[in-house]
Amino acid sequence: MQSNFSLDRFGRWSGGVAAAAGAATPEELSARFTAAAGVLLASDRVYVGLYRRDITSLTIDDAGPDRWNRDYDARIYRLDPFFQRFASTRQDFLLPLSALCDHDFQLSSYYREFYGPSDSFDEITGVFNLDRLTAGYVTFLRRNGAPPFGEQDLALACAAGSATKLILEKLFHLCRLRDKGAAIEIARSQLSRRESEIARHLIDGGSAKTISRSLSISPGTARNHIKQIYRKLGVHSQVELLAIIRDAAQD
């Protein structure tokens, strides 16, 4: 641990974690936790969000939409070496940028399209799996002109890893609550009671087989209901359904 790690920094970190744990919205959690995490590692910016294996990444912007993050969440995240590491393993990890990028990083399309233009200089990112499809991530950034992260910074981030994962689990829970609320509102306006029930199972990642078991109906009946849900909502897949729920939640 850093020799200059003061009780004041520890107090601000632990107080921020406690405040984030009591947050009522994803944005409130992000604002409280990233402020504390920025103090912990003397970072210029900290981001939290969710990686998904089946749909787009989600960055929780505490201070309003950030254009870099909109671009990142829309498409550029697939070029991120940390996302690529997440997609290739089921293991949690917390690593510096140097562990994943070689000296040609500044020549990569990801650097040209996102990393360089965002004025980032160095990064430590932790990715913590929350279920089979989703991981929470925290990214500590330093801007151009700041010193790079060192071994003591990485050790401190690792020491805080358990608390960080707990906060990311809370973030995931708050996002799921919001998605469910949006799903309910959409369902009330366009779907029958049974279709609304099945739609909520779909939002939770259910399939025709698991839904049939939960509701004691045949898989064929479940599939027919799912087709009707997709038709009424103008989507063609579970991924598209999740996307419109997310859009509704952000309006």
Q: Where are the domains of the chain?
A: 7-173, 191-250
Q: Tell how strand 93-96 and strand 134-143 pair up.
A: unpaired
Q: Which of 57, 55, 88 is nearest to 72 (CA)?
A: 57
| Sign of the C-alpha dihedral computed for residues 243, 76, 48 and 167 taken in this order | positive
Rounded Cα–Cα distance for residues 188 and 179 (Å): 14
Q: Name the packing angle between helices 26-40 and 161-190 (round to 10°).
A: 160
Write down the pLDDT at residue 247.
Answer: 59
> Can you give the three-state secondary structure of the chain, one letter per residue?
CCCCCCHHHHHHHHHHHHHHHCCCCHHHHHHHHHHHHHHHCCCCEEEEEEEECCCCCEECCCCCCCHHHHHHHHCHHHHCHHHHHHHHCCCCEEEEHHHCCCCCHHHCHHHHHHHCCCCEEEEEEEEEECCCCEEEEEEEEEECCCCCCCHHHHHHHHHCHHHHHHHHHHHHHHHHHHHHHHHHHHHHHHCCHHHHHHHHHHHCCCCHHHHHHHHCCCHHHHHHHHHHHHHHHCCCCHHHHHHHHHHHHHC
- Give the pLDDT of residue 118: 83
Please give the Cα distance from 251 to 246 (Å, whole number): 9
pLDDT at 234: 76
Q: Measured between alpha carbons, how far is 112 from 110 in angstroms, rounded to an integer?
A: 5
Low-confidence ranges of the chain (pLDDT < 50): 1-3
pLDDT recorded at residue 1 = 42
* pLDDT for position 2: 44
| Residue 95 confidence (pLDDT) | 96
| 7-173: CATH number | 3.30.450.80
How many angstroms separate the CA atoms of 131 and 177, rounded? 16
- The correct answer on CATH 1.10.3080.10 for the domain covering 191-250 is no
Q: Which residue in this structure is represented by tokens 């997709």?
A: 230
Count the neighbouring beta carbons within 10 Å of the beta carbon of residue 76. Answer: 19
